[in-house]
Structure formats: structure tokens, C-alpha cells
């Protein structure tokens, strides 16, 4: 690691020196310093000046996030954020800021919110030809040629407000302000209103009065329409006062000019039915923008910065942050046209210099030709600025703000009639005019008979599909027919393949949308009854009950591994035991040599028990003793002295515990491992950092987590929402595949879990269900079929038909019998035995090698003594060893003692001297042998 680091540093320094050598200017840097400066020089600094006093830290994070996004896209342009915090009251300091940031190499600026300071910036940008981006709502964009703004100005917002008033016929209204500062915002409304005969009178809430007293006063003056231009943080209080004064019925309308209305907490009063309208430039009609915004929110939250918003809406950011995001992306696009950016692009300009930055006007020209699908909708630029501004008209409904129309600066206001009343066709259900039944493919509810075919779009004939739903529909139809009026139906698959979810703007997807847009008479599927759905469509009586459960990988032992046996002890313990055995062996040998009791007189060689004593604990025997004890096997040698016995005793004590531990662990390897799953409930799942979890992105499970008030589910949803790559899936098939292939838990309905686990042995349900849900058949509101089908369903439940169908479709083709006894452990057992065999075989091979070594070593030794050739010794020893039928006695193998019995002891010598009767030699340790040979 250290070597790699040193090498890296050397390379860096060397590369830096090479670059330094090429410097043309007189200033000299060290190698690594130059390297860093060279890198710095390649980045375009984006400056933002923020007010010290205001809590504008979210904007800081929004800039960091966007810069990271752009740099990550690797478009060849590398941005670096630059922040300056100023006290706007300190006029001198504020006016110096622009020059300071320019001197620091900032070439592209975001104008500060404070108009006075922004004017200083604008003047400097204009003089030095540096591009400036404006992200604040102003009276009008600065006229300078270097100011770039995609934010609608107060005139645009004024036009939108006036168009809404004209549309709804509000001719007389009161405008409410916090103080005189907001007058610039309302000026265009007054001016433009006047040209359409709309009178707008301005009222301030002064320091002594409250919104309540002001509203009370305005009510007494007969005002029914109010244009509210108050601070965003006061909106909650304002609507609360409206409710207190009972000024929320249909008589009153409130049009809010603040475009950050998404950030106001209106939940408390949404149920009272207040007629509240507002505008927002944010486009949340697709899935992408809320996702991008929540990524920005999460980025900031991870760095301890939250939006100063009462609504806690993780998918919406302040308009300024969204405009900043889009502006910077546009700049990046414009700079792409410059690639590669010329060297002078990075050379700083200075406020005192007479020369201008040579790129400002060109960048502005490029900017006026680029476009983007941004957080503030589709942006197309033209030389005079943004081609058109689009504002979403929002209305507060029972379940929050909903998008009821679009205002466009070119085309005006367009309010969609989203739920037009539809007359019911009385003929529907006949052969000529069959009921349109929309459904979704999901086994075992509805499946293609030929599964190899790609799922079709649109209409599908009954002969191509089968499943629980077809059986149910036919039974229901037959039952209704028996009472006089059956129905014919035509089946088609929902085009977006979604069950149905309501987005932020109040629009529905999937089967709900098909019913709402009058393309379906019945929505049949595992279609969950929810309050939100019930508020726009009807449901029949439920035909099945389920709950949200967790699908995860089925617990399985680790892949068959012959070395599973080794896992019974940790590597450290194995190693420690090995070292301890060797240490005890050596200690015993040393202690044994010192202890007189271990030396005993022996009759050996010629049978004279004279001065010779034998110590049985030589090194080899000592090691053997330690080894036998470790294996809990008996040993034919035992210590005699107190010291050696003490050592032996403590060693036995240790081995007793070690083997107990080994046996216990072995048992757990055999059993527990098979059973283990990383979590057993949703609470445990949440705590797991490495297991991701998700669900279908368009169903009631999503809605359940999204709307949950229970802290743990809320936390789960936030985590899922912030996950990248996304943990939401388009279909159950995709979810189940992810479960089998990665550390991913899938939240799905128990009916489906039950079906899947019987067919896919790799997955299983963990824990119970989190809630109870019911499936019904969806119908348009007031459909004549709702009642009749409900009756049929109740009848089919009572006579157990539905239970039979369930049994039939769920159990049919089930392959996965989860029998704990028949699987796992036995497999692990055999694997472990295999491991033990492997150790046995290994030992055998090593023993063979050792015997060859011993054999050759002995022959070499003897050859030296006998002055015979190694080859002769080997042949003789081999011949003797191979004589299996001969007596088990033989001549001594090694020459040990000149005085003992025979003079020559090696086989070669023995044969040379034709000695026939030999007695085996006692086993002596090397020291003894030496003393023998020394004395005799």
C-alpha cells in the first residue's frame, strides 16, 4: 500500500515537473503544485453569491449537486462551484464581491437575490462581457446582453393570474400583501387586469393587523376573490385564518402568486374544501423530474441541509433551485459547442483591466440556440430569451395539490375537464357491444397459454389466455345470465401495463386511467381496493384478501464446499492451535531434559544397566505427545516428573475446551447455517445496510408506503425513493428475478408470494404480512354492473367456488416442496464427510512422501558409514522392505552404537559380514547416541 502510494506520488511529481518545464510564464511551481494548478485551470468556476443572513444553504447544495451531475455526464466541460456569502446590508462589501469573485477566476455567475447587489454584478458582467444567470423572480430581467434568465418574471406571472381571473370571471378582487415590498409583484396584475376590466385593490397587512383581521375587514367589504402575494412561510397561517373565519366555501377563491406553493403545508386544511389556486413552473407530470428533485433533496439532506419547507415533500425543490439546475445544464450544453475550450477561456479577467473576456457574447449566442427538457418543463431558447413559459395551474383538492391546467405564455390558459360526465350505454354486454374488460398479465390471475410468446398489446382473445380471472369472469357471467342478463366481454391488456397510481398532478395511470377515460367497463385483476382509487372509480365486493409480504432469497447453505469442515474453527484458532501444539512439544522436550525424573535407567544394547539413562521425551516424542493430546487420543508415553505432568495437564485442559468448541461449531455448521436468513421481519430489514428493498412502481403497495404515516414505512419509502439505481420495478417478474440474483428484498402481495414460492425454490416469504388488502373488480362510478357483479361474487364466495378456483390455480404445477428435513443438512453432511476424507487422503500422501524421505535419508546415512554406494544401500533396504513374508525382525537401520552387539549395523555391512541374527535396537535420542559414541 505504502509502496503504491510512494510510486503514485513519484509519478505525480514527475508528471508535474514535466508540465512545469513547459511553463512559459516566469512563475515556477513545484511538480505536484503545478499539476493541481493545471487541473484547476481546466475547470470552469461557477460562482453564486448568497445572503449570509438568509437560509440559502439549499441553493448551495443545489449548485453542488448540479455541478456533480454535469461533471458526471463527462461532456468535456468540468465545472467547479464557487460560493461567496455576503451581508447585503454592508453595501461596500457587497459591491466588492463581484470583483473578488472575478479575480478568483469565476467566469460564470449566478446573480444574487438582492436587487441592489445584483445590479453591481450586472454592471460588471456587462462591462467585462461575463455571462450572468438570473434565478430570481424580478420586476423584469436586467436588460444587459450578458444576463441569461429562464425564470418567468413578474409580468409573466401577472398575465397568468389575469388569465385565470378572466377564465373564472373574477372581476373584482383584493390583493393581499405582507408589506409594500411585494408591490412590484402585483403591479403587472393591476395593470393587465385593468385592460380586461378586472379591478384589483391592494391591501397590506401592517404590523398591528393579522391576516384574520384583514380578511374579516375584506369580507365586510364584499370581496370574494383574493390575490395573495404573501411570504411563502406565512401561507400556512393565512389559510388557517381563512378556515377560522369560515371563508373557505365555494363563495371564496384565493389565487396565490408564490410559485413555491408545493413547499407550503396545506395538508391540514385540504380536507375543508378551500378554493385555492396557485401556479408552479415545475413540471412534475413525468416520473423523471420528481426523481431528479428527490435526488437533489437527498443529496442536500445527506450533507445536513434541508429545504426550509413546511410540506416535507421530498420530490419538490424550491423554484430557484430548479431554475439554477436547468440554467446550468443549458450553459453546459452551450459550452459543448465550444469544445475543446480554448486556453484563453480559463484565463482570468480582472475588474480593473480594460479588456473584456472574449467569450461572453459567443456563449450568450450559443445559449440562445440550445434547448432542454428540464425541471421547469421544456426549454427552448431564442435571442430574446426563453421562447415560451409554461406554468402549471394547481388547485388544492382533498388529497393535496393537483394540476388542473396549464398556462402558456404563447397559448394562454388551458384547463382540462378531467372527469366529464359519461352517459352509460344500456346495450353494453351484448354480443354486438361486449363489455370492455381491461386486465394485466400476472400469474396465476391471467397468463398467456403460450408463454414463449412476447406479451401482446391491446385486445387479446380468450383462447390465448387462461388463469384464475378467466375462470372467475366466466362463472360471474354465467351466474348473472342465470338471472336473466348475462354479459359478453372483450378482453384487452392495459397499454401501460400498470395497475394504476395517481401522480402529483392528480392524473392516473394504468387500469384506473382506462376506466376514467372511458376505454374500459371493467378492470379485472389482482386489483387492490384503495381509498384513492375508490374516490374516482367504483369497486365490486372483494373476491380475495391478501397482504403485503417480503420475498427474499430462500435460505440455503453455502455452495457445497469440501472445506466446510475447516469453518468449524476460525483461521486464527486453527493457527493458534498449531502454534500451541508446537510450542507445548518443544517446551516439554526442554523441561523434560532438565527434569531428572524424566531420565530413567534402561537396559539396552547389551543389557547392562550402568550409567546410561534414557529420556523418553525427545523432541519427536514431545511433539507426538502434544499432537495425541490435541486429538484426544491416548499416547503410549506419559510424563513422569511433576513439571512435565503439570505442562501436560494444562495442555489437556486446553485441548478439552478446544475440542468441545470444535464439536459445537461443527454441529452449527451442519444445522444452523442451513436455516440462517439475514432478517426475519421488516424492522430487521430496515436495519440492514447492504440489503436493498423495493416494490412495483405503479401499484397499491407503492401507494401504501408513499402515504404511510407509520415512521418505519415512511423511512423505508424515503430510502427506496432515494436509492440509485432504482429499487422500483415494472413487473412482479422483474422483482422476483432481482430477488434471486441480488441482495434485494421484494415487497409484494402475499397471494403472489404464495404462488411464486411454490414454483421458484430460490425464493421464500420472510415474516408475515404488513397489512390486509382486498381485490375487487373496478368499474366506472355509477356503473350498473357494480351491483350485479358484487352479488355474483358474494354468491361464489358463499358456495366455495372462489376457494376451489384458488386451490386449483395456486396448487396446480407447484414444484417446490419446502421440506427442511429432506434438503440441506444431509447435503452439508456428505460434503463435510467429503472434506474429512480429503484431509485423510492428504495425510496419506504426506505420509508416503515422508517415508520416501526417511528411507532415502537413512540409506544415505548408512552409505556414508559403510562406505558403500547409495544405490547399493537403497537396493538392499528395498529388498528387505519388500520381503513381506519374512520375520518382522531385521537388522538395525542406522548405525547407533559401536559397543552394542554387532559392530556393523547397517544392512549392507551386516550382509557383508554375513550376520544372520539381529535384535532390534532400542529407540534412543540423539543426545544419548552422541554420548554413547563419545564414551566408547
Footprint (CB under 6 A) of ligand GLU, residues 484-513: 499
Kindly state the number of chain residues that form the binding site for ligand GLU, as judged by CB under 6 A.
12
Least separation in angstroms between residue 541's CB and ligand GLU is 16
Q: Binding of ligand GLU at residue 526 (CB under 6 A)?
A: yes
Q: Which of 159, 253, 528, 581 binds ligand GLU (CB under 6 A)?
A: 528
Nearest-CA neighbor of 132 among 101, 88, 90?
A: 101
546 has which bridge partners? 773
Residue 141: phi and psi, rounded to 5, are: -65, 150
Q: Which residue stretch of 41-49, 255-263, 346-354, 525-533 sits at the interface with ligand GLU (rule: CB under 6 A)? A: 525-533
Q: Binding of ligand GLU at residue 527 (CB under 6 A)?
A: yes
477 marked ligand binding residue? no
906 marked ligand binding residue? no
Please state the separation of Cα 779 from the chain's center in Å.
Answer: 37
Least separation in angstroms between residue 499's CB and ligand GLU is 3
Instruction: Output the 3-class SS for 225-262.
Output: EEEEECCHHHHHHHHHHHHHCCCCCCCCEEEECCCCHH
Footprint (CB under 6 A) of ligand GLU, residues 738-757: 748-749
Least separation in angstroms between residue 533's CB and ligand GLU is 8
Please name the residue that has the C-alpha cell 421547469: 376
701 marked ligand binding residue? yes
Q: Which is nearer to ligand GLU, 158 or 780 (CB)?
A: 780
Q: Which residue stretch of 377-385, 526-534, 570-578, 621-629 sits at the interface with ligand GLU (rule: CB under 6 A)? A: 526-534
Q: Is the backbone of residue 826 left (phi > 0), alpha (psi -120 to 50) or beta?
A: alpha
Least separation in angstroms between residue 508's CB and ligand GLU is 12
- Asked if 707 and 721 touch (Cβ cutoff 8 Å), the reply is no
DSSP string, 32-98: HHHHHHHHHHTSEEEEEEEESSS--HHHHHHHHHHHHHHHHTT-S--EEEEEEEE-TT-HHHHHHHH
Site string for ligand GLU, 380-419 (x = CB under 6 A): ----------------------------------------
Q: Which is nearer to ligand GLU, 133 or 753 (CB)?
A: 753
Q: Which is nearer to ligand GLU, 311 or 550 (CB)?
A: 550
Q: Which is nearer to ligand GLU, 279 or 499 (CB)?
A: 499
Q: Which residue stretch of 217-225, 521-529, 647-655, 857-865 sits at the interface with ligand GLU (rule: CB under 6 A)? A: 521-529
Show the cell assigned to 618: 525427545
CA–CA gap between residue 458 and residue 455 (Å, rounded): 10
Site string for ligand GLU, 664-703 (x = CB under 6 A): -------------------------------xx--xxxx-
Give the Å distances, CA to CA, from 321 to 48, 258, 290, 297.
Answer: 12, 15, 13, 10
- Asked if 185 and 139 touch (Cβ cutoff 8 Å), the reply is no
Footprint (CB under 6 A) of ligand GLU, residues 365-384: none
Least separation in angstroms between residue 565's CB and ligand GLU is 44
533 marked ligand binding residue? yes
DSSP string, 334-350: HHHTTPSPPGGGGS---
764 marked ligand binding residue? no
Q: Which is nearer to ligand GLU, 133 or 546 (CB)?
A: 546
Show the cell assigned to 642: 511433576
749 marked ligand binding residue? yes
Residue nearest ligand GLU (C-beta atom): 699
CA–CA gap between residue 178 and residue 231 (Å, rounded): 7
H/E segment holding residue 692? strand 692-695
Q: Which is nearer to ligand GLU, 307 or 472 (CB)?
A: 472
Q: Is 316 helix (H, G, I), strand (E, B) or coil?
A: coil
Footprint (CB under 6 A) of ligand GLU, residues 798-837: none
CA–CA gap between residue 268 and residue 239 (Å, rounded): 9
Q: Which is nearer to ligand GLU, 65 or 445 (CB)?
A: 445
Q: Which is nearer to ligand GLU, 468 or 499 (CB)?
A: 499
- Cβ neighbors of 849 (< 8 A, separation 6 or more) are none
Nearest-CA neighbor of 185 among 135, 119, 138?
A: 138
Q: Binding of ligand GLU at residue 735 (CB under 6 A)?
A: no
Footprint (CB under 6 A) of ligand GLU, residues 37-96: none
CB atoms under 10 Å from CB of 902, counted, come to 18
Q: Which is nearer to ligand GLU, 62 or 695 (CB)?
A: 695
Least separation in angstroms between residue 779's CB and ligand GLU is 15
Show the cell assigned to 312: 416535507
Q: Which is nearer to ligand GLU, 292 or 806 (CB)?
A: 806
CA–CA gap between residue 610 and residue 753 (Å, rounded): 87
Q: Which is nearer to ligand GLU, 429 or 699 (CB)?
A: 699
- Cβ neighbors of 731 (< 8 A, separation 6 or more) are 442, 497, 696
Least separation in angstroms between residue 696's CB and ligand GLU is 4
DSSP string, 143-193: --TTEEE-S--HHHHHHHHHHHHHHHT--EEEEEESSGGGHHHHHHHHHHH
Burial degree of 619 (CB within 10 A; 0-12, 13-18, 19+)? middle
Least separation in angstroms between residue 164's CB and ligand GLU is 35
Q: Which is nearer to ligand GLU, 189 or 747 (CB)?
A: 747
Q: Which residue stretch of 224-232, 293-301, 523-531, 592-600 sits at the interface with ligand GLU (rule: CB under 6 A)? A: 523-531
Least separation in angstroms between residue 443's CB and ligand GLU is 13
Q: Which is nearer to ligand GLU, 335 or 696 (CB)?
A: 696
Which residues are at the interface with ligand GLU (CB under 6 A)?
499, 526-528, 695-696, 699-702, 748-749
Annotated binding site: 526, 528, 533, 700-701, 749
Annotated binding site for L-glutamate: 526, 528, 533, 700-701, 749
Amino acid at each position: 500500500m505504502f509502496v503504491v502510494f510512494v510510486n503514485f506520488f513519484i509519478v505525480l511529481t514527475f508528471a508535474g515537473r514535466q508540465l512545469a518545464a513547459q511553463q512559459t510564464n516566469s512563475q515556477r511551481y513545484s511538480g505536484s503544485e503545478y499539476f493541481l494548478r493545471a487541473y484547476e485551470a481546466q475547470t470552469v468556476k461557477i460562482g453564486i453569491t448568497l445572503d449570509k443572513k438568509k437560509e440559502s444553504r439549499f441553493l448551495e447544495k443545489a449548485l453542488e449537486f448540479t455541478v456533480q451531475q454535469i461533471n458526471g455526464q463527462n461532456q468535456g466541460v468540468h465545472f467547479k462551484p464557487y460560493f461567496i456569502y455576503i451581508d447585503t446590508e454592508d453595501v461596500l462589501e457587497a459591491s466588492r464581491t463581484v470583483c473578488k469573485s472575478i479575480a478568483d477566476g469565476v467566469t460564470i455567475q449566478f446573480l444574487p437575490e438582492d436587487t441592489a447587489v445584483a445590479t453591481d454584478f450586472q454592471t460588471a458582467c456587462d462591462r467585462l462581457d461575463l455571462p450572468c444567470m438570473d434565478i430570481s423572480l424580478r420586476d423584469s430581467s436586467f436588460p444587459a446582453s450578458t444576463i441569461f434568465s429562464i425564470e418567468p418574471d413578474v409580468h409573466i406571472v401577472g398575465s397568468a393570474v389575469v388569465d385565470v381571473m378572466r377564465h373564472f370571471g373574477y372581476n373584482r378582487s383584493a390583493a393581499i400583501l405582507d408589506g409594500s415590498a411585494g408591490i412590484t409583484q402585483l403591479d403587472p396584475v393591476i395593470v393587465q387586469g385593468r385592460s380586461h376590466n378586472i379591478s384589483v385593490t391592494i391591501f397590506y397587512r401592517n404590523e398591528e393587523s393579522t391576516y384574520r383581521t384583514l380578511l374579516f375587514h375584506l369580507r365586510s367589504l364584499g370581496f370574494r376573490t383574493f390575490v395573495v402575494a404573501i411570504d411563502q412561510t406565512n401561507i400556512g397561517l393565512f389559510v388557517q385564518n381563512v378556515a377560522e373565519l369560515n371563508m373557505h366555501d365555494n363563495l371564496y377563491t384565493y389565487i396565490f402568486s408564490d410559485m413555491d406553493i408545493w413547499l407550503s403545508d396545506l395538508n391540514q386544511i385540504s380536507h375543508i374544501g378551500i378554493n385555492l389556486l396557485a401556479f408552479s413552473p415545475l413540471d412534475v407530470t413525468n416520473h423523471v423530474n420528481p426523481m431528479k428533485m428527490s435526488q437533489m433533496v437527498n443529496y442536500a439532506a445527506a450533507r445536513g441541509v434541508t429545504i426550509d419547507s413546511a410540506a416535507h415533500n421530498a420530490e419538490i425543490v424550491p423554484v430557484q433551485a430548479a431554475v439554477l439546475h436547468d440554467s446550468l445544464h443549458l450553459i453546459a450544453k452551450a459550452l459543448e459547442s465550444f469544445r475543446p475550450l480554448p486556453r484563453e477561456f480559463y484565463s482570468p479577467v480582472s475588474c480593473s483591466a480594460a479588456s473584456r473576456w472574449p467569450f461572453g457574447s459567443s456563449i450568450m449566442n450559443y445559449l440562445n440556440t440550445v434547448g432542454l427538457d428540464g425541471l421547469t418543463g421544456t426549454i427552448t431558447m431564442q435571442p430574446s430569451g426563453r421562447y415560451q413559459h409554461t406554468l402549471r395551474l394547481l388547485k388544492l383538492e382533498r388529497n393535496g395539490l393537483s394540476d388542473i391546467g396549464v398556462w402558456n405564455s404563447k397559448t394562454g390558459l388551458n384547463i382540462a375537464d378531467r372527469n366529464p360526465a359519461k352517459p352509460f350505454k344500456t346495450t353494453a354486454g351484448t354480443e354486438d357491444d361486449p363489455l370492455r374488460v381491461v386486465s394485466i398479465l400476472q400469474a396465476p390471475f391471467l397468463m398467456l397459454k403460450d408463454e414463449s410468446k412476447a406479451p401482446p398489446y391491446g385486445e387479446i382473445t380468450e383462447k390465448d389466455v387462461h388463469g384464475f380471472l378467466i375462470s372467475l369472469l366466466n362463472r360471474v357471467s354465467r351466474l348473472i345470465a342465470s338471472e336473466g342478463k348475462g354479459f359478453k366481454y372483450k378482453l384487452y391488456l392495459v397499454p401501460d401495463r400498470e395497475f394504476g397510481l395517481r401522480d402529483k398532478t392528480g392524473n392516473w395511470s394504468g387500469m384506473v386511467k382506462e376506466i376514467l377515460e372511458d376505454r374500459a367497463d371493467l378492470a379485472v385483476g389482482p386489483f387492490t381496493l384503495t381509498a384513492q382509487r375508490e374516490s374516482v372509480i367504483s369497486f365490486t365486493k372483494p373476491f380475495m384478501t391478501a397482504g403485503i409480504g417480503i420475498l427474499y432469497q430462500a435460505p440455503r447453505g453455502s455452495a457445497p464446499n469440501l472445506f466446510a469442515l475447516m469453518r468449524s474453527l476460525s483461521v486464527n484458532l486453527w493457527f493458534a492451535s498449531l502454534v500451541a501444539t508446537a510450542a507445548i512439544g518443544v517446551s516439554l522436550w526442554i523441561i523434560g531434559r532438565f527434569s531428572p525424573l524424566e531420565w530413567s535407567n534402561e537396559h539396552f544394547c547389551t543389557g547392562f544397566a550402568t550409567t546410561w539413562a534414557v529420556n523418553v521425551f525427545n523432541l519427536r516424542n514431545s511433539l507426538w505427545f502434544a499432537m495425541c493430546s490435541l486429538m484426544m487420543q491416548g499416547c503410549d508415553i506419559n510424563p513422569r516428573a511433576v513439571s512435565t505432568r503439570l505442562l501436560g495437564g494444562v495442555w489437556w485442559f486446553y485441548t478439552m475446551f478446544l475440542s468441545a468448541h470444535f464439536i459445537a461449531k461443527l454441529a452449527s455448521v451442519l444445522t444452523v447455517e442451513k436455516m440462517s436468513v439475514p432478517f426475519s421481519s421488516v424492522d430487521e430489514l430496515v436495519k440492514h445496510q447492504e440489503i436493498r428493498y423495493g416494490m412495483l412502481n405503479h401499484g397499491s403497495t407503492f401507494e401504501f408506503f408513499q402515504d404511510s404515516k407509520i415512521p418505519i414505512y415512511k423511512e423505508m419509502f424515503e430510502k427506496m425513493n432515494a436509492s440509485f439505481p432504482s429499487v422500483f420495478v415494472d413487473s412482479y417478474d422483474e422483482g422476483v428475478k432481482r430477488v434471486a440474483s441480488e441482495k434485494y428484498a421484494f415487497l409484494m402481495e402475499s397471494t403472489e408470494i404464495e404462488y411464486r414460492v411454490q414454483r421458484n425454490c430460490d425464493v421464500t416469504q420472510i415474516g408475515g404480512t404488513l397489512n390486509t388488502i382486498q381485490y375487487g373488480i373496478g368499474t366506472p362510478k355509477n356503473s350498473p354492473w357494480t351491483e350485479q357483479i358484487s352479488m355474483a361474487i358474494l354468491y361464489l364466495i358463499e358456495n366455495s367456488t372462489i376457494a376451489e378456483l384458488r386451490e386449483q390455480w395456486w396448487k396446480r404445477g407447484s414444484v417446490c416442496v419446502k421440506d427442511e428435513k429432506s434438503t440441506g443438512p444431509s447435503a452439508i453432511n456428505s460434503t463435510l464427510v467429503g472434506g474429512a476424507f480429503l484431509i485423510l487422503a492428504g495425510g496419506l500422501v504426506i505420509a508416503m512422501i515422508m517415508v520416501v524421505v526417511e528411507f532415502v535419508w537413512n540409506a544415505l546415512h548408512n552409505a556414508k558409514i559403510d562406505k558403500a554406494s547409495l544405490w547399493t544401500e537403497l537396493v538392499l533396504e528395498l529388498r528387505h522392505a519388500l520381503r513381506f513374508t519374512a520375520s518382522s525382525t531385521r537388522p538395525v537401520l542406522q548405525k547407533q552404537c559401536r559397543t552394542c552387539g554387532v559392530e556393523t549395523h547397517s544392512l549392507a555391512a551386516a550382509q557383508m559380514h554375513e550376520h544372520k541374527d539381529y535384535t532390534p535396537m532400542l529407540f534412543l535420542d540423539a543426545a544419548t547416541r552422541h554420548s554413547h559414541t563419545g564414551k566408547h
